Amino acid sequence: MKFDKRQIFRNVGSSWFALGVNVLVGIFLSPYILHRLGDTAFGLWILIFSLTGYYGLFDLGIRSSIVRYVARFAATGEQEELDRLVSTALASYSCIGMLTMLITLVVAWFVTAIFKIPLEFLTTARWLLLIVGAAVSLGFPFAVFSGILEGLQRFYLLNFTSISATLLRALLIVVALRDGRGLLTVALITVCMPLLGGLINAAAVFRLIPLRLGIRSVRRSTLRQIASYSGTTFVIIVAGRLRFKTDALVIGTFLSAAAVTYFTIGARLVDYATEVVQSMAQIFVPMSSQSDAVGDLGRLRQIFVAGNRMCALVIFPITAILIVLGKSVIEAWMGARYVAASYPILLILLIPSTLMIMQAASSRVLFGMGKHQMLAKVTLAEGIANLVLSILLVRKYGIVGDALGTAIPLSCTVLFFLPIHLCRLLKLRLLSYLRHSFLLPLGLTAPLVGALFLLRRWFIPHHLLPLAEQTLIALAVYGVGLAWAVWTRRAWQVEGLSYDERDAEIGIELAETSRQEA
């Protein structure tokens, strides 16, 4: 089974361009908003968006089912099944949207009793929650159409919409703050842009495929089909919220809204780094789903090994730059007074996040194969451990303790579960997988690290321009090695793997399982 390389490059390229725009806008807007609104207002902004982020739990894994089954039905030409899938998903999301709006009204009444919010921000906190919660509720049905575009592997259309919405959001926020507008106006602008993007995605879907939607197409059997896949995904969503979205809530509850700001600066740099790889790795889900449908075990192995190698080729140089130049990055971005508190958070979160993201293809392969049950159990246990440790450690060690509560369980998962589980599933030898996936990226990153330390002996950057100069020089060194790897095809070729001799039997088993699921 062959994949369209031009489509892959177009999807990945547009994803990186969209992410680049988003990161650049974030780098510019975050300090602009922070210095215009102040530490407390900015921390309140992060706190409320973190709280409403938990509304993502009500997705129940439906969107992941849409991606998987749209890819399958589009490949097999089952238009009637596709109509039922989309109609049922729309009906489900509409009910979820109404439920979350009701929850928003209740939580808005009690929000000031939950968090430590200064008296002068009580009314603002309520209105902020109402604005953000209402927008999230309205956005649930639009998630159907973005899921369809992912299932059709039209990531470039999603990215075009994202780029346009991001640039328009940045322009409107700058204008609003210059006119003396406050936190609520900024929030209103921020939440309206995704809704506009959802409308554009819906229009694109109806131009691409002849959907026939309606109440008559809503089926209980289709809902059960969605639930059979999304139930496990929902557990992973819950785990993901516990793993990465509880920090602001824990800090806001036990410390203060201002402390959230210092934590977020270090954590957001890690988020930006991981998003670079996440935006690329999303293409592996529909690719794996197609390979699993025909029982192509060899292609699944190739996606697993070459995919993780590509992830490592991207994240390793970013991690090296943030470790060596992290203090300079924070100083040039937010200001020198944030370095002492935020740089330790950056280091503590960056190492385990790198170990996770260099294996980003692993979880995508599991989703594509529909074999993510064990992943759900492990990540849920990790999420619970994360929350418990964060609560215990934040009281004694502050924001550093909260970061450790995240880093320790995450390290255990990505070191002792993920590689071993995937190698067993795909019948690969662990050492062979590690050597083929990560030896090349490590070798290419070593000269970059050497160049960074030599540059630091020359001078330590304190402002954006000299920081950019050092970063570009180091990346140029890395780029020479990467160009060689691409030219010789070592960047994506998979040869010499050690594995069991049961390929044919396993491939037949995969194909049979896929047919039974369909």
Total Cβ atoms within 10 A of residue 499: 17
Strand segments (E) across 288-408 = none
Using 50, 70 and 90 to split pLDDT, how confident is the model at 247? confident
pLDDT of residue 113: 65
pLDDT at 19 > cutoff 70: no
**450 φ/ψ angles, rounded to the nearest 5 degrees:** -60, -40
Alpha helices in 142-256 (DSSP H): 143-151, 155-178, 183-208, 220-244, 247-254
**Each residue of 417-448: pLDDT tens digit?**
989 998 888 888 888 889 889 999 999 999 99
Worst-scoring range by mean pLDDT, 52-56, 69-73, 104-108, 162-166? 52-56
Q: Which of 405, 99, 366 minimizes the C-alpha distance to 254?
A: 405
Q: Which of 150, 143, 149 has its CA nearest to residue 367? A: 150
**Contact call for residues 43 and 257 (beta carbons, < 8 A):** yes
Q: Which two tokens stand for residue 497?
A: 């793997």
Mean pLDDT of 79-99: 83
CA–CA gap between residue 223 and residue 60 (Å, rounded): 12
Judge whether 138 and 97 are in contact, CB under 8 Å: yes
d(CA 360, CA 438): 13
Written as six digits, the tokens of 319 are: 């991690």
Give the Cβ contact number of residue 340 at 10 Å: 11
The predicted-structure confidence for 196-240, as pLDDT tens digits, reads as follows 888 888 888 888 888 787 787 787 777 777 777 666 667 776 777
Q: What does the mean pLDDT of the chain come to?
A: 79
Element (H, E) at 428: none
pLDDT at 508: 40
Q: For residue 507, is pLDDT > 60?
A: no
Q: What is the full DSSP assignment across 266-310?
A: HHHHHHHHHHHHHHHHTTHHHHHHHHHHTT-HHHHHHHHHHHHHH
* pLDDT-based confidence at residue 515 (cuts at 50, 70, 90): very low
